[in-house]
Amino acid sequence: MYLNRDIQRDTDRLEYVKKILDEMQEIPTPLQLEKMAKYILYGKDTEGKNAVQRREITDTEKKHKTWTRKDEENLSLDEMLEVPNADQLHFQDFQKRNPYVKKLTRITPEDLDIPGMADLRDGIQYLARVLAIAQGKIPHEEGDPVLSNSQQIYILKHWLIDLRRHQYYLKDAYRPAIHFQSVPTPRSQKIDFTQDSFYWITPEEYERRRQESLLPLPDPEWNEEHTAVKWIIQRQTIDFTNPTHVRALFDFYSDIYEQDWEDPYSWGRILLMDFDALVDRCNFSEERLYILIRKIDKATVEQIVSEIKEKFGLGYAPSHVSSIINKELPQKIALLAQREKLQFETPLAEKKRCKKCGNYFPASTLFFGRHASRPDGLTLLCKGCERLRRIERGEQSNYDRRYRSQKDTIMLKMPTNTATK
- What is the mean predicted confidence (pLDDT) over 119-130? 89
Asked if residue 189 belongs to a domain, the reply is no
Contacts 24+ apart (CB under 8 A), 360-365: 360/416, 360/417, 360/418, 360/419, 361/411, 361/416
Model pLDDT, residue 302 = 92
Please state, for a pLDDT cut of 90, what percent of the chain lies above it: 10
User: Looking at the predicted structure, is the pLDDT value of residue 292 above 90?
Assistant: yes
- What is the mean predicted confidence (pLDDT) over 189-214? 64
Model pLDDT, residue 107 = 81
What is the spatial distance between Cα 121 and Cα 163, in angstroms, rounded to a whole number? 9
Model pLDDT, residue 350 = 85
Where is the domain boundary, 342, 372, 397? 342
| Higher pLDDT among residues 106 and 24, named by residue | 24
Model pLDDT, residue 80 = 55
Model pLDDT, residue 290 = 93
Model pLDDT, residue 185 = 41
Model pLDDT, residue 189 = 42
Per-chain mean pLDDT for the chain: 76
- Please tell me whether residues 123 and 157 are part of one structural domain: yes
Asked if residue 67 belongs to a domain, the reply is no
Model pLDDT, residue 68 = 43
For 10, the domain range is 1-59
Three-state SS annotation for the chain: CCCCCCCCEHHHHHHHHHHHHHHCCCCCCHHHHHHHHHHHHCCECCCCCCCCCCCCCCCCCCCCCCCCCHHHCCCCHHHHHHCCCCCHHHHCCHHHCCCEEECCCCCCHHHHHCCCHHHHHHHHHHHHHHHHHHCCCCCCCCCCCCCCCHHHHHHHHHHHHHHHHHHHHHHHHHCCCEEECCCCCCCCCCCCCCCCCEEEECHHHHHHHHHHCCCCCCCCCECCCCCCEEEEHHHHCCCCCCHHHHHHHHHHHHHHHHHHCCCCCCHHHHHHHHHHHHHHHHCCCHHHHHHHHHHHCCCCHHHHHHHHHHHHCCCCCHHHHHHHHHHHHHHHHHHHHHHHHHHHHCCHHHEEECCCCCEEEECCCCCEEECCCCCCCEEEEEHHHHHHHHHHHCCCCCCCCCCHHHHHHHHHHCCCCECCC
- Please tell me whether residues 244 and 338 are part of one structural domain: yes
Measured at the CA of 354, the angle between CA 344 and CA 398, to 5 degrees, comes to: 95
Contact indicator for 49, 55 with CB cutoff of 8 Å = no
Model pLDDT, residue 398 = 59
Asked if residue 76 belongs to a domain, the reply is no
- Please tell me whether residues 296 and 391 are part of one structural domain: no
What is the spatial distance between Cα 311 and Cα 122, in angstroms, rounded to a whole number? 63
- Please tell me whether residues 355 and 395 are part of one structural domain: yes
- What is the mean predicted confidence (pLDDT) over 60-86? 50
Contact indicator for 398, 413 with CB cutoff of 8 Å = no
Model pLDDT, residue 305 = 92
User: Where residue 89 falls among pLDDT bands split at 50, 70, 90?
Assistant: very low
User: Looking at the predicted structure, is the pLDDT value of residue 256 above 90?
Assistant: no
- What is the mean predicted confidence (pLDDT) over 360-388? 87
Model pLDDT, residue 303 = 92
User: Where residue 325 falls among pLDDT bands split at 50, 70, 90?
Assistant: very high
Model pLDDT, residue 304 = 93
- What is the mean predicted confidence (pLDDT) over 202-217? 73
User: Looking at the predicted structure, is the pLDDT value of residue 38 above 50?
Assistant: yes
How does pLDDT run across 281-291, given as a tens digit for each residue?
888 889 999 99
- Please tell me whether residues 282 and 364 are part of one structural domain: no
How does pLDDT run across 270-281, given as a tens digit for each residue?
788 888 888 988
Closest Cα partner for 336 from 247, 408, 406?
406
Asked if residue 233 belongs to a domain, the reply is no
Where is the domain boundary, 134, 154, 180? 180
Distance between the two ends of the chain, CA-based, in angstroms? 103
Poorest-pLDDT segment among 220-229, 244-253, 363-372, 407-416: 407-416
- Please tell me whether residues 395 and 326 are part of one structural domain: no
Poorest-pLDDT segment among 31-35, 230-234, 249-253: 230-234
What is the spatial distance between Cα 39 and Cα 16, in angstroms, rounded to a whole number? 10
Asked if residue 186 belongs to a domain, the reply is no
Asked if residue 404 belongs to a domain, the reply is yes
Model pLDDT, residue 94 = 45
- Please tell me whether residues 328 and 312 are part of one structural domain: yes
The length of the chain in residues reads 421
Asked if residue 271 belongs to a domain, the reply is yes
Please state the domain count of the chain: 4
User: Looking at the predicted structure, is the pLDDT value of residue 181 above 70?
Assistant: no
Asked if residue 69 belongs to a domain, the reply is no
- Please tell me whether residues 354 and 332 are part of one structural domain: no
- Please tell me whether residues 301 and 353 are part of one structural domain: no
The pTM assigned to this predicted structure is 0.42
Please state, for a pLDDT cut of 70, what percent of the chain lies above it: 73
- Please tell me whether residues 361 and 301 are part of one structural domain: no
User: Where residue 79 falls among pLDDT bands split at 50, 70, 90?
Assistant: low
User: Looking at the predicted structure, is the pLDDT value of residue 405 above 50?
Assistant: no
Max mean pLDDT range (24-28, 31-35, 317-321) = 317-321
Letter for the amino acid at 207?
A: E
- What is the mean predicted confidence (pLDDT) over 117-131? 89
- Please tell me whether residues 338 and 353 are part of one structural domain: no
How does pLDDT run across 148-176, given as a tens digit for each residue?
777 888 888 888 888 888 888 888 777 76
- Please tell me whether residues 172 and 129 are part of one structural domain: yes
Where is the domain boundary, 295, 327, 342? 342
User: Looking at the predicted structure, is the pLDDT value of residue 57 above 60?
Assistant: yes
User: Where residue 216 falls among pLDDT bands split at 50, 70, 90?
Assistant: low
